Structure 1
Amino acid sequence: MSSESARIAVVTGASRGAGKGIALALGSTGATVYVTGRTSAEGDSALPGSVFATAQEISDRGGVGIPVVVDHSVDGQVESLFERVGAESGAVDILVNNAFAVPDALATEGPFWKKPLSLLDLFDVGMRSSYISSYYAAPLMRRGSLVVNTSSFGGSCYMHGPAYGAGKAAVDKMAHDMAVDFRPFDVAVISIWMGLLKTERTLAGLAEAPDSYAELVATAESPEFTGRVIDALWRDRNLMHRSGSVLIGAEIAAEMGILDVDGRQPPSHREFLGDPPTYSAAVIS
């Protein structure tokens, strides 16, 4: 396992939101973080943020931020990303599969057949992109490294409809099955369920309807919280015992004494939203 200051991390979908927060948290430890996403400049998206801005903030915090503009729906761009990582850094210690398409109609009310089929885009940048990034990163993952799929309680409860639920359930099971393949190489794979995050998108929604979200936001996690959990998991001597599991980030944080950026201990929502899945230990080859 490499030292913390020499760690090489790749965080996909890090122009803003959870990916940005995770990248900043890892970069704050002194790590080198490759920041990927489609947004190269402010104004390219309706929401603030870019891969260059995230990378600069990582460097300002004492890490090394490396911005790479990548459309994770294009396999060739992902392959080129990891060719570059291999040439420049030689290995990967932490891969965070966070790139996720958020269709405009995702949170609208109504049954799935009343919503546009564009919701299926999240299978491409989400489920499929997590597989592709892991595929090209695999030869670079050194012993003691960690692959993380970011996910949510939508993998077990009804949340935003069947397209969203299927996408989250898929990356959860993918983590379990990739863990089987990676185990002989001492590489851990987990899926982390995040709570409601105070992302740019959430804060914009709060500004439009403050009364609707106020109670939820009071217990929401910062985007950096999951990055703090990932950092602690990488350093955990029992990491391989957790490999293949779906973990609730807030519960791992409570176990390890990890606080959010404001000093709070975010709550787990297991009681209200359900348990993470457990999978059979059977391996049929």
Structure 2
Amino acid sequence: MTQRLKGKVAIVTGASRGIGAAIAKRLACEGAKVALVARTVDPGTSRLAGSLAEVADWIKARGGECICIGANLAKEDQRSHIVPETIAKFGGVDIVINNAAWCRYQTTHEQALKDVRQTFEINVVAPLQLTAQALPSMQERGGGWVVNLSSATVNHPKPAPYDFNERYTRFNLEDGPSMYAATKAALERMTAGQAVELAKFNVAINTLAPVEAVMSEGAVEIGTVDAQAHLEPEEAMAEAALELSSRAPKELSGRILLSLNLLRELGIHTVKTLDGTQTLANYIF
């Protein structure tokens, strides 16, 4: 391990499982003190596998430092204590990874307005609020990094006439990702604008999405990943997030990035295991 993040403090939302847990582990094993944020704090309290307590145990077993912060990011009052609690424990914030996301995959005409509002609240408003709340601490500490997790669903379906047998068209027809995609598109545009605004504070902000599907618990649950999908290991997303959380803010900010493309651009063609001790076997891109 290189300890690239020694002395840094990171907040990772949606850290109980999947990509968020992977990023939290990777940052912790590079020396960051990590605030793990999600609704599922204890094992067995969600229908999905994974919890903050289990991620924390993994990190602590490898000598890392972390705290667990239970919060429903759809609720402003529950979001508002995340940054203060992190600062109280670790003295500041340098990195914010806005990974938590929510959606109800239905066609737009079927969606209840409460679900539409919740999708925007978690996917757009929460990242905006957490970034704003962390900014004063980042300024005090000389700069910082924000990584907003996006999605390939922002890519537009082809226009009519439609081939309903084509995979992406069928995905939009059957699974209804349009509202989720709209929030991620909003997140990307917001990020690009924030990058200009935050540059004077030496704060970098980028979006990051996987090139291929990642077999996370959430993706499996909602049926967006199947056995035929081309898969990207969660370690690749973690490696890309590490780069976006450690490169000079003046050099890498305001980008809408895909994980493997970013790593190739940086001359990286292998990824590390989440503990940072080995190269991930049998994965060269």
Q: TM (normalized to structure 2)?
A: 0.80
- Of 125, 134, 139, the residue aligned with 2:136 is 139
Residue in structure 1 matched with residue 155 of structure 2 by the alignment: 156
- 3-state SS, counterpart of residue 242 of structure 1: coil
Identical counterparts, % of pairs: 27
Where does residue 248 of structure 1 map in the other structure?
Answer: 258
RMSD: 2.4
**C-alpha displacement at 1:3, in angstroms?**
5.7
SS in 2 for 1:133: helix
- Report the equivalent of 1:21: 22
Superposition deviation, residue 73 in structure 1: 1.8
Q: Pick one of 207, 217, 228 that aligns with 1:215.
A: 228
Structure 1, gaps ≥5 residues long: 267-285
Q: Are 2:43 and 2:53, in contact at CA under 8 Å, matched by a contact in 1?
A: no
Task: From 166, 184, 197, give the equivalent of 1:168.
Answer: 184
What's the CA shift string for 1:76-98, capped at 9, x where partnerless? 32222211222222222210011
After TM superposition, the score normalised by the length of structure 1 is: 0.80
Is residue 42 of structure 2 the alignment partner of residue 41 of structure 1? yes
- Find the residue that maps to 2:226 and give its secondary structure: helix
Q: CA deviation at 1:258?
A: 4.8
What letter is aligned with 1:133? L
Select between 7-16 and 55-64 the one with higher mean Cα deviation.
55-64
State the number of aligned residues: 253
Q: Matches of 1:126 and 1:202 in 2, distance apart?
A: 16
Q: SS state of the match for residue 241, structure 2?
A: helix
Q: Are 1:37 and 1:68, in contact at CA under 8 Å, matched by a contact in 2?
A: yes
Q: Distance in 2 between matches of 1:251 and 1:135?
A: 28
State yes or no: 1:188 paired with 2:177: no
1:114 matched residue in structure 2: 110
Displacement after TM superposition at 1:169 (Å): 0.4
Contact 2:147 2:245 in 1 (8 A): no
Secondary structure at the counterpart of residue 147 of structure 1? strand
Q: Contact 2:205–2:253 at 8 Å: present in 1 too?
A: yes
Secondary structure class of the residue paired with 2:81: helix
Q: Are the counterparts in 2 of residues 20 and 223 from structure 1 also a CA contact under 8 Å?
A: no
Q: Given that residues 147 and 244 in structure 2 are in contact (C-alpha distance below 8 angstroms), is that contact kept between their aligned partners in structure 1?
A: no
How many Å separate the matches in 1 of 2:30 and 2:221? 29
Gaps of 5+ in 2: 158-171, 274-279
SS at match of 1:213: coil
Task: Provide Cα deviations, 1:7-62, integer angstroms capped at 9, x if missing partner.
Answer: 21100111112211111111121221100011122222110111111122122233
Superposed displacement of residue 198, structure 1: 1.6
**Aligned equivalent of 1:50:** 51
- C-alpha distance in 1 between matches for 2:221 and 2:188: 28
Aligned equivalents of 1:80 and 1:258: distance in 2? 39
**3-state SS, counterpart of residue 100 of structure 2:** coil
